[in-house]
Amino acid sequence: AQKVTQAQTEISVVEKEDVTLDCVYETRDTTYYLFWYKQPPSGELVFLIRRNSFDEQNEISGRYSWNFQKSTSSFNFTITASQVVDSAVYFCALSSREYGNKLVFGAGTILRVKS
Amino acid sequence: NAGVTQTPKFRVLKTGQSMTLLCAQDMNHEYMYWYRQDPGMGLRLIHYSVGEGTTAKGEVPDGYNVSRLKKQNFLLGLESAAPSQTSVYFCASRRLAGGETQYFGPGTRLLVL
């Protein structure tokens, strides 16, 4: 089975706070890919990052960072010093050969950043 | 490059009417997908295509048909719309290799009354 769980339905923070969005995945495959997408209020889906199962190095891009831990099947996303423009729905997704390389999405986390 | 485009952006249908949603990509991607997004449920795969002339069912295919007559276009049809098909529809495309990133269109809002 292939599954992505984003347990946090909604998070509210005040501007400049750090916030972490959790993502837990399930797959039997040893080769898989994890993704994060952002959906701002305008509605489009914006690709943020892709990580393959063989690369557990954490990644930082500006205020964004991602922590991939195979031992806990997690791929968490942290925004440092959050800004109002970070307000969006964030989706974690998984693809693997087991599932024909199709994407399976989590339900999404709504992030509200207040000024 | 326009990337992935979708037509129309918004549509209102009456129950039983039919319509076709058009997705076009200019990135020469082999794979194309149709998803629907409903509140609290993330995106669910309706149908997909691994190349021109081929289509396959996804997670929620009932009530929809698709066609991929040209590599750059992927059509989603609703033969007899139902209120349960009220949703936001997204098209996506990606290159052939496994694990490649899917790039999404801007979405189509469909309201079925």
Query: Which residues are CB-contacts of A51 (< 8 A; sequence separation ≥ 6)?
Result: A33, A34, A35, A59, A66, A68, A75
Query: Does residue B41 have a pLDDT over 80?
Result: no
pLDDT grade, residue B40 (50/70/90)? Answer: confident
Instruction: Give A92 or B39, the one with higher predicted confidence.
Output: A92
Query: Does residue B1 have a pLDDT over 80?
Result: no
Nearest 5 degrees, angle CA A75-CA A83-CA A7? 35
Arithmetic mean of pLDDT over chain B: 94
Q: Cβ(B94)–Cβ(B100) under 8 Å?
A: yes
- At B48, the amino acid letter reads Y
Phi/psi at A82 (nearest 5 deg)? -60, 150
The mean pLDDT of B86-105, rounded to a whole number, is 91
Q: Tell whether B17 lies on the interface with A, counting CB pairs under 8 A.
A: no
Q: How many CB pairs under 8 A join A and B?
A: 53
Q: Cβ(A40)–Cβ(A88) under 8 Å?
A: yes
Residue-level pLDDT, tens digit, chain A, 115 residues: 789 999 999 999 999 999 999 999 999 999 999 999 999 999 999 999 999 999 888 888 899 999 999 999 999 999 999 999 999 999 999 998 877 888 999 999 999 999 9
**What is the C-alpha to C-alpha distance for residues A61 and A59, in angstroms, rounded to an integer?**
7
For B5-52, the DSSP string reads: EEE-SEEEE-TT--EEEEEEESS--SEEEEEEE-TTS-EEEEEEEEET
pLDDT grade, residue B65 (50/70/90)? Answer: very high
pLDDT value of residue B97 = 77
The mean pLDDT of B6-28, rounded to a whole number, is 96
Q: Do B98 and A45 touch (CB under 8 A)?
A: no
Q: Do A47 and B99 touch (CB under 8 A)?
A: no
Instruction: Give A110 or B100, the one with higher predicted confidence.
Output: A110
Taking the CA of residue B99 and the nearest CA in chain A, the distance in Å comes to 6
Cβ contacts of A44 on chain B, cutoff 8 Å: 104, 106-107
pLDDT grade, residue B77 (50/70/90)? Answer: very high
Q: Tell whether A16 lies on the interface with B, counting CB pairs under 8 A.
A: no
The mean pLDDT of B5-20, rounded to a whole number, is 97
